[in-house]
Chains A and B, each alone.
Chain A
Amino acid sequence: MRLVAVLALALLSAPALAAPAEGGRAHALWLGPRPPAVPRRVVALAPSLTDMVVALGHADRLVGVTRYDDAPEVARLPRVGGFLDPSPERVLGLRPDLVLWLTDRGADAAVRRIADLGVPVLATPVVSVSDVLATARVLGAALGDAPAGDRLSASLSRAIEAARARAARARRVRVLFVVGRDPLVVAGPGSYPDEVLRLVGGENVVQGTRPWPVYPLEKAAADDPEVVIDAAVLEPREGISRLSAIPAVRRGAVRRLANDDALRPGPRLAGALEALYAAVHGEARP
């Protein structure tokens, strides 16, 4: 069950079909027909996309979300499944005129079937910070409200610039970003938290090529991070003592995140930058 939670969390942060966007150009892809008119009934197949629609000011158009969604605006909406198992039947039952999908191979067949049956599906790989900025514009345009997309993208850009400027004045801190503890799963290079960490003046101790490695505990101990960020928010707080082989855990240099905002490439980026800055640089947070 815990592994499922880890997997779900890792998937929250968008493994993608295509390479990360460059220069803010999202590799959005239409499957099935294009919407004939401005979409009014939208199903979002990932919480970060739900967040995006809400942040664009169009929560009222959402008619279905995943079982992982926790935004208060969608608390009462029907659930259409998860990342690996969206139910095409439930999606179609909601008569959507637009389905938003974070390209994910596990659900490939189900989503392609939805598109084949005539429902417009907008697939947006969101892996990096620049993808987030681009997706805000793409979704704004898809919802017939390009100005809202531009505004959201610009406001997130400002938050990024502010974080960069603040980090430039601070010392670089060596960080281990823990997503799951049993097994130990960490954010590696190429993952979304790795990028956000760098923006706030953190340096990921995890090297290599895999974005979400199952990490040997002794390697984590040998890496000797200054700070361990505990982003395993679905697991009990005390469980971090499992990792006491890491000197920082013994020293008590563990900063637990209050939520999974740092794992969601979406509008929660602004909050994640704040929270991660505080976690990396040891500022007290409520």
Chain B
Amino acid sequence: MKRALGTRLGLTVAAGLLALAAAIAVSSTLGSQPVSLAAALRGGEPDRTILLGLRLPRALLGALVGAALAAAGAALQALLRNPLAEPFVLGVSGGAALGGTLVLLAATFVGQVAAGAGALLGSAPPVALGAIAGAAAATALVFALGRIGGRLVPEAALLVGIVFNAFAAAVITILKVLVPPDEAARLLYWLMGSLGYVSPGTLAMGAVGVLASVALLGALSARLNLLALGDDEAASLGVDVGRARALVFLGASAATGAAVALSGMVGFVGLIVPHAARRVLGPDHRVLVPASALFGAAFLVLADAVARVAFLPLGTEPPVGALTAFAGGPLFLWLLRRGERR
């Protein structure tokens, strides 16, 4: 049995890595500017800079964000025992955006008194910490208010998440009115959920955060299998339910917070990818969590490439978050209807 799991996991990881490599290769060849790979390899400019300085880091950013969101989605679905759970729908992304926005705002106001301190506060690490804190607060809220009679009711938790998302969006809208127009423009762009251009330092920092939180979720995957059976069943099988759930909270919040800090609100990746993976690979989270992370990475890299290329004739590119919502919204409704029929 153990051996069978090892083989399946190995095959899945190999397929995931292959898909990710293919996605990065495709994304690196597509763009507004015709670029020759041969010229780039010979060191020809601007081909080399565009390929290695712009497209590759952007693909890596997409991979990190996709891996984080899909892994968090898989974990949250197990925890809530509901295939509709995912960071965006549950309000975790909204909480992260609100947390990050509050830090950016604080940076603006501090910057009016002391420019240096404001710039420091507005830099990537504090904003990311704000996003993670916001994600954690939103997760805690959803799970606290989603209880009825002391038991977690998945449907109630989902509703709390949806309402909290709307509330977070409203608060952000109000905050946007209070900041200078340039800051509002920056916020708007960040919140739209697009992969932009980050410095190698930010990318490395994001990689550490995402890999650590995804690894935590991976390590918890055996316990996720038991949690998915229900709290009582998990407890009777020897799982410390409170502790396991707290750790999954932490992992999912950190992954979502890091993803939102890197790219704003990209929705539905955590819904689409784990769902597709579950259809193909089955419900074992020991395979599902790493598969979701790897295929989520490949998915978002490809989605970003499509967003970049599809609107090329119009001289612009929609944020990748719009594209994932375009695909994820109908899937969500379909899953909802299917759940009703069952």
Contacts and interface: CB of A to CB of B under 8 A. Distances in A.
Contacts of B198: 109, 113
B54 A89 contact: yes
Interface stretch (A11-19, A163-171, A234-242, A256-264): A11-19
A113 B52 CA distance: 12
A17 B181 contact: no
Contacts of A84: 185, 188-189
A89 B33 contact: yes
Given A89-B32, A112-B199, A113-B54, A11 B45 contact: no
A106 B186 contact: yes
A93 B50 contact: yes
A90 B32 contact: yes
A262 B49 CA distance: 39
Nearest to B186: A105
Interface in B1-50: 31-33, 45-46, 49-50
B177 A214 contact: yes
A211 B46 contact: no
Contacts of A82: 316
Interface in A77-100: 79, 81-85, 87-90, 92-93, 95
A106 B54 contact: no
Contact of B33 (A16, A90, A110, A214): A90
Interface residues of A, number: 35
Contacts of B180: 15, 211
Contacts of B33: 89-90, 92-93
A212 B32 CA distance: 34
B181 A113 contact: no
A73 interface: no
A95 B32 CA distance: 14
A81 B182 contact: no
Tier of interface size on chain B: 20 to 34
A15 B46 CA distance: 31
Contacts of A67: 315-316
B196 A110 contact: yes
Interface string A99-120: 0000111101110110011100
A54 interface: no
A88 B185 contact: no
Nearest to A82: B316
A63 interface: no
A7 B185 contact: yes
A92 B186 contact: no
Given A108-B186, A112-B199, A85 B49 contact: no
B50 A109 contact: no
A237 to B, nearest CB: 26
Given A92-B33, A106-B186, A212 B181 contact: yes
A10 interface: yes
Contacts of A108: 186
Interface string A248-262: 000000000000000
Interface of B: 31-33, 45-46, 49-50, 53-55, 177, 180-183, 185-186, 188-189, 196-199, 315-317
27 contacts: A7-B185, A10-B181, A15-B181, A15-B185, A16-B182, A67-B315, A79-B315, A81-B315, A81-B316, A82-B316, A84-B185, A84-B188, A84-B189, A87-B32, A89-B31, A89-B33, A89-B54, A92-B33, A92-B50, A92-B53, A95-B46, A103-B182, A105-B182, A105-B185, A106-B182, A113-B53, A113-B199
3 shortest interchain CB distances as A-B pairs: A15-B182, A105-B186, A113-B197
